[in-house]
Chains A and B, each alone.
Chain A
Amino acid sequence: MDEPLHTLSAAELGRRLAAGPLTSRALCEALIVRYHAVNKKVGAFTHLDEGDVLAQADASDVRRKAGQGRGPLEGVPVAIKDNIAVKGQPLTCSSKMLASLVSPYDAHVTERLRAAGAILYGRLNMDEFAMGSSTENSAIQKTFNPWDLACIPGGSSGGSAAALAAGLVPLALGSDTGGSIRQPASHCGVVGLKPTYGLISRFGLVAFASSLDQIGPMARCLEDCELLLGALASADARDMTCFSPSDRALTPAGDAKKLRIGIPKGFLGKGVGAEVATAVTAAIEFYRSQGCAISEVELPSADLAVPTYYVVATAEASSNLGRYDGVRYGHRSASAGTPVEMMTNSRSEGFGAEVKRRILLGTFVLSAGYADAYYMRALRARSKIRAEYLAALATVDVLLTPTVPTPAFKVGEKASDPLQLYLEDIFTIPANLAGLPAISVPCGKSGHLPVGFHLVGAPLSEAKLLAAGRLFEAAHGFAHQQAAL
Chain B
Amino acid sequence: MAEGFDIDHLAKLARLNLTAAEKVLYSLQLNQILGHFQALAKADLPATIDLARVVSESALRSDEPGPVLGAETVTRLAPASRDGQISVPRVVDDEA
Contact = CB atoms under 8 A, between A and B. Distances in A.
Nearest to B1: A373
Contact of A327 (B30, B69, B86): B86
A326 B79 contact: yes
B32 A419 contact: yes
Contacts of A303: 39
Contacts of B82: none
A121 to B, nearest CB: 25
Contact of B43 (A304, A326, A344, A379): A304
A288 interface: no
Given A348-B17, A373-B1, A361 B30 contact: yes
A25 to B, nearest CB: 32
B77 A104 contact: yes
Nearest to B59: A240
Interface stretch (A35-43, A134-142, A334-342): A334-342
A302 B86 CA distance: 48
Interface string B14-25: 111110001000
Contact of A345 (B17, B26, B29, B55): B17
Query: Which residue, B49, B73, B79, has most C-beta atoms of chain A within 10 A?
Result: B79
B73 A104 contact: yes
A336 B89 CA distance: 7
Nearest to A198: B53
A181 interface: no
B33 A310 contact: yes
Contacts of B74: 328
B26 A339 contact: no
Contacts of A418: 29, 33
Interface string B40-77: 11010111111011010011010000000100011001
Interface residues of A, number: 64
Contacts of B86: 327-328
Nearest to A242: B59
Contacts of B26: 356-357, 360
B89 A342 contact: yes
B36 A307 contact: yes
Contacts of A325: 15
Given A340-B15, A342-B89, A357-B30, A304 B7 contact: no
Given A241-B53, A339-B88, A383-B48, A359 B29 contact: no
A380 interface: yes
Nearest to B67: A105
A330 B78 CA distance: 7
Query: Which residue, B5, B22, B77, has most C-beta atoms of chain A within 10 A?
Result: B77
A333 to B, nearest CB: 9
B10 A367 contact: yes
A342 B88 contact: yes
Contact of A381 (B1, B5, B34, B43): B43
A360 B41 CA distance: 20
A165 to B, nearest CB: 31
Given A326-B79, A377-B45, A364 B5 contact: yes
Contacts of B47: 380
Query: Which residue, B26, B40, B58, B69, has most C-beta atoms of chain A within 10 A?
Result: B40
Query: Which residue, B1, B14, B32, B52, has most C-beta atoms of chain A within 10 A?
Result: B14
B78 A327 contact: yes
A379 B78 CA distance: 37
A342 B15 CA distance: 10
A364 B46 contact: no
B40 A307 contact: yes
B89 A339 contact: yes
A363 interface: yes
A329 B73 contact: no
A295 interface: no
B90 A338 contact: yes
Contacts of A351: 16
B40 A308 contact: yes
Contact of A344 (B17, B22, B52): B17
Given A360-B7, A383-B50, A307 B37 contact: yes
Given A311-B40, A348-B17, A384 B55 contact: no
A325 B58 CA distance: 35
Contact of A377 (B16, B41, B53, B73): B41
Contact of A363 (B10, B18, B55): B10
A241 B51 CA distance: 12
Contacts of A329: 77-79
Query: Which residue, A308, A328, A345, has most C-beta atoms of chain B within 10 A?
Result: A328
B40 A244 contact: no
Contacts of B43: 301, 304, 377, 381, 384
A318 interface: yes
Given A332-B79, A338-B89, A364-B5, 11 more contacts: A240-B55, A304-B43, A310-B37, A338-B92, A339-B91, A342-B89, A343-B15, A360-B7, A383-B50, A384-B46, A418-B29
18 contacts: A101-B77, A240-B55, A301-B43, A306-B36, A307-B37, A307-B40, A308-B40, A311-B40, A327-B78, A337-B89, A338-B90, A347-B16, A360-B30, A367-B13, A373-B1, A377-B40, A387-B50, A418-B29
